[in-house]
Amino acid sequence: MSKTAPINMRVEPSQHALLTKAAALLHKDRSAFILDVACREAEHILLDQRLFYLNEEGFKAFESALIAPIPDNAKLKALLAEPSPWEK
């Protein structure tokens, strides 16, 4: 796939140095590093959206899943009964 859409930005010298150093640690050029990190963060933002639309059939299936009883899970109960790592 040919890359044809440019993205240009001006940064502070300290930001430039930081990005260059991080990219070098991963053996990437600065542009590839910035694009990878920006795309990963964009995916996280998009996946974190809490508003979604369902048609009537989809909503009924979703609602049924929400109200269905949760099967007993002994391993999950044991895990949740343990103190958190910061509480130990």
17-71 residue pLDDT tens: 999 999 999 999 999 999 999 999 999 999 888 888 899 999 999 999 999 998 8
Q: What's 8's DSSP letter?
A: -
- How many CB atoms neighbour CB 77 within 10 A? 9
Q: Which residue segment(s) compose the domain that 64 sits in?
A: 13-69
User: Domains in the chain: how many in total?
Assistant: 1
Contact indicator for 32, 23 with CB cutoff of 8 Å: yes
CA angle in degrees (0–180, nearest 5) for 43-46-50: 145
Asked, for residue 6, whether it belongs to a domain, the answer is: no
Asked, for residue 45, whether it belongs to a domain, the answer is: yes
Q: How far apart are CA 84 and CA 77, in angstroms?
A: 14
Asked, for residue 46, whether it belongs to a domain, the answer is: yes
Is the pTM for the entire model greater than 0.85?
no
